[in-house]
Structure 1
Amino acid sequence: MTIQHPSPDRVRFGVNYVPSAGWFYSWLDFSADAVRRDFEDLAGLGLDHVRVFPIWPWIQPNRSLIRRRGIDELLELIDIAAEFDLDVAVDLLQGHLSSYDFLPSWVLTWHRRSLFTDPAVREGVIRYVDRVSRAASSRSNVFAITLGNEVNNLWPANPTDAAGSSGWAAELLRTVSAAAPYVLGLYSLYDAAWYDPEHPFHPVDAAELGDLTTVHSWVFNGVSTLDGPLGQATVSHADYLVELAAATAGDPARPVWLQEIGAPRPDVPDADAPAFVRRTLDLVLANPALWGVTWWCSHDLDRSLADFPEREYDLGLFTTAHRRKPLAVELAAVITEQRAAGRTARQQGRRGTAADRPGLLCEVDLRERPDRRREVAPGSAFHSEWVRQRGSGPLAIVPATRAADPKYLTTRGIGRLIEPTERS
C-alpha cells in the first residue's frame, strides 16, 4: 500500500482500546452496550482512531477452526467505532497483552511448537491472518492491520532466530496485503528489537517490513531512572525512538507511528502525568517522520482482576467508572492545539515540519550491526549526547554511512551534521 509522507500538521491521534469492564476478558462476554459506553468516553477527546485487540485463541481455538462468532463480534465493535467517527486499527495475534501471553492450545502442552518456525503452526496462523484481515477490511473505517501486539514478547517460549523471525513476519505481511490490499499492513515489536544486542528480532525488519514503522515507547525500560519522571531523557524517549527508527529505515521518507506510549506508575507519578504528556508530545510532534500517536490506554484495569503488574492497573485515560483523568484532559488539549496549528499551516500553504534540523552522527549502523544495539540504548554515551543536544531543539540521528548523501539529508530535513563530541 502506498501512503503519503506525514507532517506534524496532520498527525493522527488515537488510543489503544482497553475495555473498562473486564479488560480483554470481555471478549468472552461481548457487550455492544459496554463498548458503546467506552467509545462515548473517547469521542470527546478529539481522537480519530482506536487500536483494538481480538484475542487469537478465542477466535482460533483449534488449528482448523476459526469461530465465526468471534469475527462477527470484532466487526460489531468496528461498526460501533464508526458511530463515533473513529477509525480502527486491528491487531491480529494476541499474543502478548499487559504481561500475559495468550496462545492457543495447539501450540502448547503436547503440541508445543514454535509460533515462528513450525510449518504446521505457520499454516494455521496464515489461515487466521487471512480470514480476519478479509473480514476487518470489509469495513471502511479500518485503516491498519498489525500482525500482533509486540510479538517479540512471545520469544523465547517460541524459539526462533533472526532469519526465522524475519521470514515469519514477511510471509504474514504478504498474507495481510493479499487479503486487505487497501489497509496498512504493520509489524509491532517492543523496544528490545532496538536496544538488546542478543535479541533475534532485528531493527532492520522493524524499519523495513510493513507499510510504515511502529515503535512503542515505555520509560519503565530504565530510561526514567536516568533523570526522573520529567527529566529530558524521560520526556524525549519517544522522540529518540521515533528518530532511531527513521534513521534505520532504508527509505528516508518512511513514516513512523508511535503506536504505544503511556505514563506508567511509579516511573511517572500521577501528579506528573499531565506534564509528562505535554512535554513528551511537544518534543515528538516536532519530528517530521511522525505519522501518528496512539496512547496506552483508554481505560484503567479493574483492581478486582488479580495478578497483573501494579503499573498495569492505572494506565488509562479514564477510570473504570468513566471519569476523565487529568492526563486525558492534557492529551485533549494537545490534540486541539495541534489541529488548530495544522489548519493554520494549511491555510497559509506551508508544512509544519522541523526543516533543516541538525543531525547527530551515529557510528552504529543498526541495519548491518544489530550486535551493537547496546551502544544506542538508553544510558549509552550516544543516547546521553543526543538527549543533551535535544534540549536545544529538534535533533536528527544520521548514520555515518549516509552522511555524505545529500538527497538523503534533504529528504529528512537535515541541514547540518554534528559530531557526537561537538559541544554546542
Structure 2
Amino acid sequence: MTAHHALRFGANYVPSSGWLYSWLDFSADDARRDLEDLASLGLDHIRVFPVWPWIQPNRALIRRRAVDDLLYLVDLAAEFELDVAVDLLQGHLSSFDFLPSWVLTWHQRSLFADRAVRDGITAYVDTLARALADRPNVFALTLGNEVNNLWPANPATPAQSSAWAAELLDVARAAAPRLLGLYSLYDAAWYEPAHPFHPVDAVTLGDLTTVHSWVFNGVSAIDRPLGPATTSHADYLVELAAAGSPDPHRPVWLQEVGAPQPDVPAADAPAFVHRMLDQVLVNPALWGVTWWCSHDLDRSLADFPEREYELGLFTTDHRRKPVADALARAIRTVRTPAADRPALVCDTDPVARPDLRAELAPGSAFHTEWVRLRQAGPLAIVPAARADDPAYLAARSIRTVLSRA
C-alpha cells in the first residue's frame, strides 16, 4: 500500500461582501479580512471562483484587469499561508448559470459541442493557466464548478462532454504542467441513468477524482439530519468514486460538502459536521475536504434559494459560527486511515453501465445495505469484477469481502 499524505482542509471562498459579484469591484481589503477568518481555523487552502463571462465577455476578448484581480487574490492568500485551487468556468454557482453573451441569445450554441465556442474556451483556459502557473501557492485548476449543471441548456452527448473535458485538461496541463488538472461534476453523474455526463469521466479524467456531497439530493429525507444515511453520504460518495476508478491508488477530493438548511437545521449542524467528518476522514482514498462555503450570503441579495444564504463558516460580519468550530476541532484531531476494512461487493458497475446508476442512488437497495453495515465501522465498496483480486484489495486496504444479503 502507498503511504498516505496528510489530509488537506480548506474552504470554497465566497466573499463576505457582495458574494461573487464582488469580482466586478474587487476590494483587496475585504478579501484580506475574509482570508484572515479562514486562516484562523487552521485551513490550508481555498478554492476560488473567477466568473467566466466577466473575464471573457467576448470570444476574442479576455480582460487583463480581471485576470490581475485573480492574481492579487492568490497573492493575498499567500500572506496567510493559504494555497489556492482555481475553478475556471463559472459556469454554475449557487443555482445561477453565468454564461457569456456569445453563447446565448441568437448566438445560442452548446459550449460542449460547438467548435467556435470550444476554441474561445481554449483561449480562456490557456490564458488563466499561464497566468497562474508560476504562483507557488496555486496547486490546482478545475475546469469549472459542476459544469454538468449547464446541461441541458448546453446540449451534449456523453462522447461530446468527455471530449470537451479531455481537450481542456490537455490545454491546462500544457500551460501549467506543475498544477493538478481537475474535472468536477455534481452527483447526477453518479446517480441519474439518463444523465449525459458519466462516472467514467469523473474517475479517469484529471489528476484525481472530485466529489460534491449534498444531502439535499434526497438522502436527508431517508433518516433526517443526523441519521446514518445522511451523515455517511460523503463517505459513500468517496467510496463510489474510489471503487469506480481503474487505478486503486487514485485519490478522491471531497471538494464540496456543507450543512444546508432546512435539511440540516442550524441547531444540528455542528453534530452533522462531527459525524460526517468522523466517518469520511478515515477513508484511505480521501485526499482532502473543502467546506462549502467560507462566508454566508448577504440577505440583501435577491433570488437565491433559501439554503444558499447560511452555508458559511462565518457570517457576513465575520462572526465565527458553530460549524466553523466543529471543523476546526476536526482539523486538530489526528486520524489514521482505516486499514484492513471489510468491503461490500457492488454488482452494479456505474462506469461500464451508466444506465444502471439508479441502483446506487440514495435509498436504493445497495445504498441501504451499505449504510446499515457502515454503522459498525469503515466499509469499502468493491466492484464484483475485482472482488477476487488480492493486489487490488490490498491497495485499497480491504481485508474481507462481503456479499450483499
Q: Which residue matches 2:375?
A: 391
Evaluate the alpha carbon distance shift between residue 6 and residue 101 of structure 1 in structure 2; reply closer, same or farther with a 3 A threshold.
farther
In structure 2, the residue corresponding to 1:317 is in which secondary structure?
coil
- Corresponding residue of 1:311: 307
Q: Residue 164 of structure 1 aligns to a residue in which SS?
A: helix
2:257–2:291 contact (8 Å) kept in structure 1: yes
Query: What's the CA shift string for 1:293-330, capped at 9, x where partnerless?
Result: 00000000000000000000000000001000001011
CA distance in 2, matches of 1:40, 1:150: 27
1:371 maps onto 2:361 in alignment: no
Partner of 2:319: 323
1:114 aligns with 2:110: yes
* Distance in 2 (alpha carbons) for counterparts of 1:405 and 1:369: 21
Q: Distance in 1 between matches of 2:119 and 2:231?
A: 42
Amino acid in structure 1 at the alignment position of 2:228? Q
Structure 1 residue 353 displacement after superposition: 2.2
State the aligned residue count.
Answer: 405
CA contact (8 A) 1:20 1:302 kept: yes
State the partner residue of 1:178: 174
Which residues in structure 2 correspond to 1:222-233 (within 5 Å)?
222-233=218-229
Structure 1: stretches of 5+ with no match in the other structure: 342-351
| Among candidates 377, 380, 387, match of residue 403 of structure 1 | 387
**Aligned match of 1:78 in 74, 81, 87?**
74
CA–CA distance in structure 2, aligned partners of residues 331 and 357 of structure 1: 25
Runs of 4+ in 1 over 4 A off after TM superposition: none
Alignment partner, residue 346 of structure 1: none
Query: Paired residue for 1:344?
Result: none
CA separation of 1:376 and 1:265: change in aligned 2, threshold 3 A? same
Alignment equivalent of 2:159, drawn from 148, 163, 186 = 163
The question of whether the paired residues in 2 share the 8 Å contact of 1:256 and 1:289 is answered with yes
SS class of match (2:9): strand
- Tell me which amino acid in the other structure corresponds to 1:229: P
| Corresponding residue of 1:249 | 245
Aligned to 1:15: 11
User: 1:6 Cα deviation (Å)?
Assistant: 6.9
Q: Secondary structure at the match of 2:211?
A: strand
Aligned to 2:366: 382
Instruction: Using the aligned pairs only, state the percent identity.
Output: 73
Q: How does 1:124-143 map to 2 (within 5 A)?
A: 124-143=120-139
Shift of 1:174: 0.4
Give the match's secondary structure for 1:361. Answer: strand
Where does residue 220 of structure 1 map in the other structure? Answer: 216
8 Å contact kept, 2:255–2:290: yes
How far apart are 1:137 and its partner, in Å? 1.7
TM-score, normalised via structure 1 length: 0.95
Q: CA deviation at 1:234?
A: 0.2
Work out the CA distance in 2 between the residues paired with 1:266 and 1:247.
31
Matches within 5 A, 1:25-44: 25-44=21-40
The offset of 1:173, in angstroms, is: 0.4
Deviation at 1:404, TM superposition (A): 1.6
| 1:416 alignment partner in structure 2 | 400
Report the TM-score, using the length of structure 2 for normalisation.
Answer: 0.99
Aligned residue among 284, 287, 295 for 2:291: 295
